[in-house]
A and B are shown apart, each in its own frame.
Chain A
Amino acid sequence: MNRQQVTATINGEHKEFLCEPRQSLLEVLRDELFLTGTKEGCNDGNCGSCNVILDGTLVNSCCIFGVEANGGHITTIEGLSKGNELHPLQQTFLEGTGMQCGFCTPGFLIAASALLDENSEPTEEEIRHWLVGNLCRCTGYDKIVKAVQDAALILRERAL
């Protein structure tokens, strides 16, 4: 079947690409656009390692067809830092060892950034609830939650 033309803004850049309808947004990002920071864990919506932000909402890119993103605005992990300046979440994950093997980390960072975008002062419970769709086999989660709290604090201080 025909490949379809898709236009989207990805990390602020205008992109045009061709994809087969059956390709997930995850496959398109990784295999067509070589944005390999977004990871494939379960490929069925359970682990969150494929998280991206599509039109302001957090989504699992493995459960979306690439063609559905036509006309959309997408933020992937590659778009989180400003050049060499890390996002506060990246900084606090590093400083507080919010990761070990790191496979789940892009998904957690994107998911947490979506949370902080709409809630600048989340409670521990809110953070844990927001992140139920992100799985980590290494850290035991506590350091991740702490890193999100620390990043929220940095962002709040910056906003003063």
Chain B
Amino acid sequence: MRNFDYKLPTSLNELTDMLSHGGHTARLLAGGTDLVVAMRGGRMTPEVVIDTKHVEELNELSFNDHTMILGASVTCRKVCRNPQIVKHFPALIDCATLIGGTQIQNRATLGGNLCNAAPSADTIPALIVLKAQANICGPHGSRQVPVETFCTGPGQTILEGNEILVSFSIPLPREHEGAFFIRFIPRNDMDIAIANAAASIVIASSGETIIEGRVAIGAVAPTPLYVSDVEPVLSGRPIADDVIAQAADIARQSARPITDMRGTVDQRKHLTHVLVRRALNGAVNRARGND
């Protein structure tokens, strides 16, 4: 591995300062479960590595009346053990418990998962259906973007020169809202998704009608994909197998997968249909309070 300068800022100001003086190769270090491996493989050769673990804003985990603020560098383990996240956002637990094994979850972060921008990243579809906003900070101030617009290609994001992801703002679920994430991998654990899917749904208090539904799919396009065409198909419709199948059809049509060592185009398209159906049914169950 090429050598580099290791920096450990203790405030956001210090971090952004170090980043702007770190040259164009400077990289942020959260859990390092992508970065260290990429550096060892020579795929990334930063001259400066800036550790985010001591910057308060990136490690915040707090709730107000309407929103959860989840710092970019909060680990999957902390997410999985937070009783409020368990209660309000089981879909985040679905995916955070699947990232690697125990050892990886103890380091890996949701911010790192998003910024690494892998098409197969497991937390991104759930963040999308939960309407997470990415809070970005840069030399020209702050901005907020929906997570579905964050990744622009494999390993590519909308972050511009010296911008960083600070945190996510995620609205607390409404009444009768549920969300669910599911993936398909060749083994039970420790592998990369052949396809994954997340869904969120708000249902009427009768428990029979859909008010709003969102679907996102992964590993079937250059970036995790928000399938906006599903929304009109779901809203106002009864909770019924044919409605859910119709939504899954649309997701399958939106998928633009490739064939690689893990799966073929046809398999991925088929899986998208199956996983979206299951994710929607899982979300409905949770919205009904059955989970």
Contact = CB atoms under 8 A, between A and B. Distances in A.
Interface of chain B, helix or strand or loop or mixed? loop
A129 B187 CA distance: 13
Interface string B1-42: 111111010000000000000000000010111001101110
B107 interface: yes
B101 A48 contact: yes
B77 A63 contact: no
Interface residues of A, number: 32
Contacts of A64: 32, 36, 107
Given A20-B3, A22-B1, A65-B32, A133 B104 contact: yes
Contacts of A67: 6
Interface in B39-53: 39-41, 49, 51, 53
Given A24-B36, A64-B36, A68-B51, A58 B103 contact: yes
A132 interface: yes
B103 A65 contact: no
Contact of A63 (B4, B6, B32): B32
23 contacts: A1-B3, A4-B6, A20-B3, A22-B1, A22-B3, A22-B4, A24-B36, A45-B100, A46-B190, A48-B103, A59-B106, A60-B107, A63-B36, A64-B36, A64-B107, A65-B36, A68-B29, A68-B53, A111-B102, A111-B103, A132-B101, A132-B102, A132-B190
B175 interface: no
Nearest to A70: B8
B6 A65 contact: yes
A114 B77 CA distance: 14
B104 A60 contact: yes
Given A20-B3, A60-B107, A65-B49, 17 more contacts: A1-B4, A1-B5, A22-B2, A45-B36, A48-B101, A48-B103, A51-B103, A58-B102, A59-B103, A63-B104, A68-B29, A70-B8, A115-B102, A132-B101, A133-B102, A133-B103, A134-B101
Interface residues of B, number: 30
Interface in A29-49: 43-46, 48
A45 B103 contact: yes
A146 B36 CA distance: 34
Contacts of A140: none
B37 A21 contact: no
A48 B100 CA distance: 11
Interface in B173-195: 188-190
A120 interface: no
B96 to A, nearest CB: 14
A83 to B, nearest CB: 28
B101 A21 contact: no
A57 interface: yes
A21 B190 contact: no
Contacts of B4: 1, 21-22
Given A58-B106, A64-B107, A44 B40 contact: yes
A57 B75 CA distance: 12
A57 B6 contact: no
B94 to A, nearest CB: 14
Contacts of B5: 1, 21
Contacts of B36: 24, 45, 62-65
